[in-house]
Structure 1
Amino acid sequence: MNKKVLIVDDDPRNIFALKLTLKAKGYQIESSTMALEAIDMLKNDQNFSAVLMDMMMPEMDGYEAIKIIRNTPLINQIPIIAVTAQAMPEDRQKCIDAGAQDYVSKPINVDILLTVLENLS
């Protein structure tokens, strides 16, 4: 399985921590702090096996970004995992309804995240 993951998060510290963890597990990591840039990255490289999408970002939130990805034929099949500090059951459903395959709450439990990534393949 291709293990190339795009991390989209407006906080570079979150990207840094996730990058270290996932690289140690054999994943190739690209990252972006802005949703629009991330969408362009996906369009330019269809080899990502998953996107970790922060749902709360300033200029465009994850819900809007997922909607755009799902409506873009070139990239609409890529699995998206919503990542959010909002951990109520209805938040999970909101992410799934927006088009995410799965949902991981912050602070991220690495074991849960790895299980979710492995289950995508």
Structure 2
Amino acid sequence: MAENKILIVDDDNRNIFALSAVLKSKGFRCVSATGGEEGLDLLKKEKGIAVVLMDMMMPGMDGYQAMAQMSNHPELKGIPVIAVTAQAMLGDRERCLDAGAVGYVSKPINVDELTDLLKLYI
């Protein structure tokens, strides 16, 4: 079976907690980081991460910058990133996909929609 480990990168611990709880109940394993730089470090150290759920708006290195770094790293560029954002404005989805995300979900997250998206990559 393919690895079902998901990295959640979000600057709000409440979002990480809620998302982890829901995903674990659906059989996924979760690791988390509270910023883009920490997320990249985790990706380099932790083997077997199948998908990254990336919050796009974070202080410090945001999701766009983190995805740009991933695309320049040989071991990380193949890991799919699903953009997670509260910024559900016209054009945001396209901006996330143009930046390298394979999918896009807006907050509050529709769990069924997210699970369906995750199943495409795990």
With the shorter chain as reference, the TM-score category is over 0.9
Q: Tell me if structure 2 keeps the 8 A contact 1:46–1:75.
A: no
Q: Which structure 2 segments of 5+ residues have no match?
A: none
Q: Tell me if structure 2 keeps the 8 A contact 1:84–1:104.
A: yes
Give 3-state SS (helix, strand or coil) of 2:91's partner.
Answer: helix
Q: Deviations over 1:35-54 (max 9, x none)?
A: 10110111112310100000
Give 3-state SS (helix, strand or coil) of 1:75's partner.
Answer: coil
Q: What's the CA shift for 1:93?
A: 0.3
Residue identity matched to 1:80: V
Give 3-state SS (helix, strand or coil) of 2:49's partner.
Answer: coil
2:13 maps to which residue?
A: 12
User: Alignment RMSD, CA only?
Assistant: 0.9
Give 3-state SS (helix, strand or coil) of 1:49's partner.
Answer: strand
Residue identity matched to 1:64: Q
Q: Deviations over 1:62-115 (max 9, x none)?
A: 000000011111111001000001112410000001010100000100000000
How many pairs align? 121
Q: Tell me if structure 2 keeps the 8 A contact 1:8–1:53.
A: yes
Paired with 2:29 and 2:89, the residues of 1 have a C-alpha distance of 31
Paired with 1:80 and 1:119, the residues of 2 have a C-alpha distance of 12
Q: Identity of aligned pairs, percent?
A: 55
Q: Which structure 1 segments of 5+ residues have no match?
A: none
Paired with 1:89 and 1:105, the residues of 2 have a C-alpha distance of 12
User: Post-superposition, which runs of at least 4 consecutive aligned residues in structure 1 deviate over 6 A?
Assistant: none
Q: Does 1:70 align with 2:71?
A: yes
TM-score, normalised by the number of residues in structure 1: 0.97
Paired with 2:47 and 2:37, the residues of 1 have a C-alpha distance of 16
Paired with 2:64 and 2:6, the residues of 1 have a C-alpha distance of 19
Q: Does 1:93 align with 2:101?
A: no
Matches within 5 A, 1:1-121: 1-121=2-122
